[in-house]
Structure 1
Amino acid sequence: MVVVLTALNLFTVLAFTLLVPARPLEVPTLLPWQDPAQTAWRLGAALALMGVVVWAVRPGQRGAWEFALLILIGVAVVAWLSQNYLPFLALGLIPVVARYWMPLWAVLLIVLGLGALSVWWAQREPLQITFEIVLSQGPQGNTAWGALPTPAEYPNLSLAFFIFIGFLYSGYALLTLELLIREVRAREELERTRRELEQTSRQAGILEERQRLAREIHDTLAQGFASIVVQLEAAEMASENETSAAHYLEQARQAAREGLSEARRMVWALRPEILENTSLPEALQRLLQRWQQESGISAEFTLTGDPRPLHPELEVGLLRVAQEALTNIRKHARARHATLTLSYLDDLVLMDVQDDGVGLLPPTSGSFGLRSMRERVEALGGQMTVESEPGLGTTLAVSLPLYPQPSMQEVKTL
């Protein structure tokens, strides 16, 4: 819609500038559309302006340099129209700019004022040519400029022409801009609503998971600890009876084993959903594919070595580090391509995340994300290194020692 409306706007001005010669220093013999050079550069300028408008009305924040560039382009367009054509074409751009800061009713008053200004300018500097005179020249364009009738011979026609064009151009530009602004605001509102829904859904999911964990802890670990306390108190009260005290101590020991077993089961249950019923390489590949779709950055996954099941804590740790690294690339790297490599060695598992972005300044920046990843890796007995140079991208390397994966039978017997 933005492209279509912008093209219609520019087509209106382009058609006028192709049919009506600019105010020349010499007497012209051809209309602009009859001159290939004039036609080519006008078409090129119209296409360039269409690109600028579409870029200017895109959703998102604007930097200071973008505002400065837009102002510079606007001043250049107004100056060219004022120099080569009647000023009402340039003045017609005023509602376009004013609508960004003023309400619609105020801009409508500006349009009416521009119409009146066109009438005043018609009396101050008569129009050199009308559409009837232009079209009467025919395709040959061999009528001399000086031989054409002047608007002084047709004052009513000149006045009507100015009023009509002034109102038509200003009103059409305003209407089109209003449609553009509404579409851009609707897209921004849709994007803001989508982000809010995602945040709300994420918070609801976190709250629901916390409540579920609270119930699980209350029904398992809390009950087990309460049973241990009761059994130990009973053993203390029966300290004079060794048989009864030993019985209560054994009950407390059994409750502690069951509580530890429940804690282990909860650790297994807290595995990320993406790791459910799938291997770590498959989970990382799915993570990278989803990230590529969301970010628009090309990505590649590489697997080396012989894949095998790892301890759950290792798999969760590698997955979380990969998620954080990809998030950092999306937010800060301005990269065009990213690579995630997972390597299985005899006693180590390695993971590298590399991008071709702008790099880190400095490479050892102590941001919370990097610190969190490093602490997670070191807690698992591994190492993490970050290599980066400005403009040459960043490589994050993680190495973790392999230690045995506990089986459910081992969990039950703990």
Structure 2
Amino acid sequence: MAGTKKHLSYENTEFSVFSLVLLGVLIWLFPMLDAVFLLLFLVVLASLLFRWRFPLAPEWMLIDCGLLCLVCIRLPEAALLLCLYILFFCTRGRWFLSLPFLVYAMALLQMPKILFVVFSFSLGVLLWLWKQERGMLQEETDRLRLQLHHADQEQLRLLSDYQDAQQLSRLEERDHIAQILHDSLGHELTAAHLSLKAQGTFLRKGELDKAMDSQQKIEMRLQSALEQLKLAVRQLDVAEREAQSRFDQLISAFEYPVEVSCKGDLDTVQPALAQVLYAGLKEALTNISKHAKPTKVTVLLDCTPTYVRLMVENDGILEQAPVHTGNGLRYMRRRVEAMGGSVAIQQDKTFRLIITLIRSQKELT
């Protein structure tokens, strides 16, 4: 729609310029406007309107100009009508074709009509240059829009890949849990179940000694299964409770000193949320390393029962790159929003990045 409006704006301007030159020619010829001049004026006007309505090659207008030049031999003042053809050639980028007629008109006319012919030529050249510049700007705009479209598509693809990776990670985690439960509990519970059946058989036969012995085996199997379950839970708990150590390692490896303040236990946060926070912290520290020279970097982590918030702040704002230039921040915002969270950027005397994620009710229960 914007390109259409610009196109119409140029066409309207070109029509206005032609109307202006046409009015000037009419004013100059008005004192001598008899039947012959009026007929000639109308023929020239019809010729221009025909060429304007039907986009033929501009070179065909040479025939009309040649006929008008022959008429100018008998009516030299009619050379002023060549202004319209000169303007036509220039606006079509054929200014070199108008040069012979420009010289011819200047040879037949006198001052100040010669200035009007030169003015028409200059005006046509300016219109053509404006059209060329407008075309280049339009091409550049289309190219940038295409790049932006491709960038958006790439972001969507990366976000989709990230979500697929998350889903795969969850499936692998479930498979890992299932394998642990099968290996640790399956054997013991199966043996307890068989012992329970055997105890029922012994009781029906009245073999109480064997039934008591089977009961002891059942209790031993169930006790062992309970211990295996606790061991599996501890293994899973150790595997999941690595978020805080990963955060600490990332901060300790940063090239600038970091002041850390942590409220709550990050290891109690859902692993998927902890991973998003870790990626956000990594992106924030990477941007500080690239674009800032801070004297102080602060990381605040607040884990509450309802939400978890991460704030990364640095005072290297004077050399901070513009916020809109980084793809990393856009990707991070997409990931956070996909998890139902939000990203806020505050830029004043310091640069702050704030990530807020809502903890799910399922996690809290």
Give TM-score, length-normalised by structure 1: 0.40
Using CA pairs below 8 Å that are at least 6 residues apart, which structure has the higher relative contact order? 1
Greater gyration radius: 2
Normalising by structure 2, we get a TM-score of 0.45
